[in-house]
Structure 1
Amino acid sequence: MKLLLETVALYSLKLAYETEGHSPILRDDPLMGSCDREVFELLIRRGDVAGIQGEIGRCLNLALGAIGGVDTVLGRELHRLAAGFSAVQTMVELHAPAIMIRDYLRDIL
């Protein structure tokens, strides 16, 4: 799960900050900040669903801004997926929406 969450964060930050002709954003980039594997591991260990949702939500908001917001086709879909992720209440429920978001972000990168 921690790798999945880190991947969602990475793809979001790539959409928001990565530009053509510059070095790609990687997992160990300082830009990842609080969205790295160790942070997610700690949040998972604590069972902190709200903490995970907050970190992923912050990253998804950046991605949403990068694709033009909720007034675009891509933005509406990302917003819908993010709302589904935010609505879950247990750790077990986080997995499926996180996979859908990861796959969606990967497709639009």
Structure 2
Amino acid sequence: MELLLETVALFCLKLAYETEDSSPILRDDPIMSDYEREVFGLLVRRGDVEGIQLRVAHCVDLALVAIGGADTPLGRELRRLAGEMGSIQVMEQLDTPLVALKDYLKAIQ
């Protein structure tokens, strides 16, 4: 799950900060320091669903700004998918909405 969380964060930050004329954002980029696999691993081991949701929500908010906000077609779908993840109460239920969020973010890159 840690890799999946890191991937969602990476795709969000790519949308928010990567430009055509700049170097691509990679997993070892300093911008990923709060969203790297080890950070998410700690949250997963603690069972901190709320902490995971807050970190992912922050990244999604950055991506939403980059795609024109929650009122655009892309933004509405991103907000819907993030909302599904935000409504989860237990760790075991995070996988399905995270995969959907990751797939969508990858598709709109």
Length-normalised TM-score, structure 2: 0.99
Q: Distance in 1 between matches of 2:100 and 2:77?
A: 11
Alignment RMSD, CA only?
A: 0.5
Moved over 2 A (4+): none
Q: Deviations over 1:30-78 (max 9, x none)?
A: 0012100000000000000000000011000000110011110000000
What is the number of equivalent residue pairs in this alignment?
A: 109
The Cα of 1:21 is off from its aligned counterpart by 1.6
Q: What is the one-letter code of the residue matched to 1:52?
A: I
In the TM superposition, 1:29-108 aligns within 5 A as 29-108=29-108
Q: Percent sequence identity over matched residues? A: 61
* CA distance in structure 1 between the aligned counterparts of 2:38 and 2:108, rounded to whole angstroms: 27
Structure with greater proportional helix content: 1
Show structure 1 runs of 5+ residues with no match. Answer: none
Taking the aligned partners of 2:62 and 2:11, their CA distance within structure 1 comes to 11
Task: Tell me which residue corresponds to 1:3.
Answer: 3
How far residue 102 of structure 1 moved from its aligned partner, in angstroms, is: 0.1
Q: TM-score, normalised by structure 1?
A: 0.99
What's 2:20 paired with?
A: 20
Mapped partners of 1:70, 1:45: distance in 2: 32
